[in-house]
Amino acid sequence: MTTANAESTSAPATYSSVAWIGLGAIGTPMARTAAEAGFPVTAFDLNPAAREAVADVATPAASAREAAQGADVVVVMVATPAQLDSVLTGEGGIASVLTDATTLLIMSTVGPAAIEQTLTTLEGITAHVVDAPVSGGAARAATGDLLVMVGGADADVAAVRPLLDALAANAPVVGAKPGDGQRFKIVNQLLCGVHIAAAGEALALADSMGLDLKQVHEVLGTGAAASFMFGDRGQRMVDGAFDDVRSALTIFVKDMGLVAEAAAEVGQEVPLAASAQQIYQRGSELGWDRRDDSIVYEVLRGRTD
């Protein structure tokens, strides 16, 4: 965690409770980071093993509603818009225990439409919603080094600022209303999704031409063609580490769908994103949703097992 983060978490005692709902690959290290920074975290996930994994630093809850009851801040870190809706209004949903004193901090990537639906759902319950999707992956989540793109009213953002600063190296306010953070994240995911697909395509071509993939990755990674995704995902492609899952393919199946929806809504052509989306979808159709997203390399090489 950076020095700035450590200084900004000097006020965790201002929260009587932080509810954390969603303990996936990134949600778990984020919840641990928050708890280790001194925030009183009560955590829930549908997976009992995930709840147990944070029991040494946080209080496990038997349900999302139990976690949210009486919490000052409720963090939601689930995977999809449907899961967000279920957390709020499904069986055992938390909407019934939220109050006008609760701040809902949505850190999932769910798209602006889901945030708009959330605001409608919570009308008359709480207007304090902060939209703050994250970028950076599990390793950076574990060290409080994420990028968080924050959308929300000034007072609501200020209420969660100590927590945001514990979780992120950079948490800029990118808009004054919930949904603005999602719009920024969609642009982020367009870039990431296209870069991963481009890395896979480049290395697939190199392999087809009989080049040494390790050398291609090493040499091109020092020049103008270098990018974070070529360095990171490209290394996994070279290593064939598709079952060492650091970011599952299903995330980009979902996120490139959100990119397509957002682009259609504003009438913006996104041909590179559309092409990348097809590659992720092909991987999904092969049954590779739970494998690492670097498996797009195998898709592009025409492999099916």
Mind telling me the catalytic residues?
A: 185
Find, among 186, 285, 283, 187, the residue nearest to 237 by Cα. 283
How far, rounded to the nearest angstrom, does the alpha carbon of residue 283 sit from its chain's CA centroid? 20
Residue type, 92: G
Strand partners, 39: none
Give the CA distances from residue 59 to residues 62, 63, 206, in Å, rounded to whole numbers and listed in that order: 10, 12, 50
Residue ranges of E strands in the chain: 18-21, 41-44, 59-60, 73-76, 103-106, 129-131, 134-135, 146-148, 150-151, 168-170, 173-175
